[in-house]
């Protein structure tokens, strides 16, 4: 069980002393390093990498996928977005649709939303009781522990955005023709429940951090969010023995 994380005490603004220009310059270097790591990962076939991106509506998950992984070879990478379960998915165990999208060794998979939606939405919609949610926490922990034991490197990111920034981005979706397609009436309801979502996420952090800890990323500044995620991914992967396999010529 982790120490209680209180999101209200964590800044949604950049926490590192770095300018936007400096971050952009550093991103070029980090993207090159991630590309090199991916090449070794794919060749070695020893580890798999699973990146979980969670956050409230308009927290910048899509932007993170686009920018952070811009230098990754698509042949060794896959992005999966988990929305409302289909009829087929709902007829199975909640981890059924998740398990089959997990990466094989040598691959990087990115979950834009994930199995944690099956904690969030039942709590917000009051469609599951405390006992059922506790059971799901236990199943998720066993699931993630199994991935890690089979050499899957699991990194979980929560994109921490303020309520005011959410509202600004919602307005932007309504007025910007390039983002209007994202706008849904349901967004208004979801964003209005900012504090409720925050409490559920705090419960998730408390119950599901032992094997794969959460990284809380300040997300009000999009440029900083992308830089912070990219930096953490590279720093983490460089701790592992990811190298080209030896070849006898």
- Please count the structural domains in the chain: 1
From the list 71, 50, 81, the residue with the least C-alpha distance to 237 is 50
Angle at 242 between CA 241 and CA 248, to 5 degrees: 100
- Average pLDDT for residues 72-90, to the nearest whole number? 97
| Residue 74 within any structural domain of the chain | yes
| Residue 2 within any structural domain of the chain | no
Residue 2: pLDDT above 60? no
**Across the chain, where does the E strand assignment appear?**
48-55, 77-81, 108-112, 152-160, 214-218
The parent domain of residue 62 ranges over: 7-237
From the list 221, 206, 237, 165, the residue with the least C-alpha distance to 15 is 221
Verdict on whether the full-model pTM lies above 0.75: yes
pLDDT of residue 1: 41
| Residue 244 within any structural domain of the chain | no
| Residue 248 within any structural domain of the chain | no
| Residue 242 within any structural domain of the chain | no
| Residue 246 within any structural domain of the chain | no
Distance between CA atoms of residues 31 and 116, nearest Å:
28
| Residue 198 within any structural domain of the chain | yes
Distance between CA atoms of residues 195 and 33, nearest Å:
38
Work out the mean pLDDT of the chain and round it to a whole number.
95
Q: What is the pLDDT of residues 207-248, one digit of tens each?
A: 999 999 999 999 999 999 999 999 999 999 999 999 999 988
pLDDT of residue 184: 74
- The helix, strand and coil proportions of the chain, stated in percent and rounded to the nearest 5, come to 50, 15, 35
pLDDT of residue 127: 97
Q: How many Cα atoms are found within 13 Å in the side-chain-facing hemisphere of 174?
A: 10
């Amino acid at each position: 069980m982790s120490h209680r994380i209180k999101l209200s005490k964590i800044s949604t603004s950049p926490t590192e002393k770095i300018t936007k220009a400096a971050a952009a310059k550093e991103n070029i270097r980090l993207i090159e390093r991630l590309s090199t790591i991916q090449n070794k990962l794919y060749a070695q076939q020893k580890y798999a990498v699973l990146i979980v991106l969670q956050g409230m509506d308009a927290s910048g998950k899509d932007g993170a996928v686009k920018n952070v992984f811009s230098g990754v070879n698509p042949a060794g990478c896959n992005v999966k977005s988990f929305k409302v379960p289909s009829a087929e998915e709902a007829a199975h165990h909640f981890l059924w649709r998740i398990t089959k999208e997990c990466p094989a060794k040598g691959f990087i998979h990115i979950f834009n939303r994930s199995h944690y939606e099956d904690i969030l939405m039942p709590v917000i919609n009051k469609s599951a009781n405390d006992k059922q949610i506790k059971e799901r926490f236990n199943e998720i922990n066993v699931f993630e522990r199994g991935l890690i034991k089979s050499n899957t490197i699991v990194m979980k990111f929560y994109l921490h955005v303020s309520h005011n920034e959410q509202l600004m981005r919602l307005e932007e979706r309504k007025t910007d023709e390039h983002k209007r397609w994202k706008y849904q009436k349901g967004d208004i309801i979801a964003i209005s429940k900012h504090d409720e979502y925050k409490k559920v996420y705090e419960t998730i952090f408390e119950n599901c951090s032992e094997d794969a800890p959460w990284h809380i990323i300040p997300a009000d500044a999009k440029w900083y969010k992308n830089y912070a995620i990219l930096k953490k991914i590279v720093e983490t992967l460089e701790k592992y023995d990811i190298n080209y396999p030896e070849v006898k010529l």
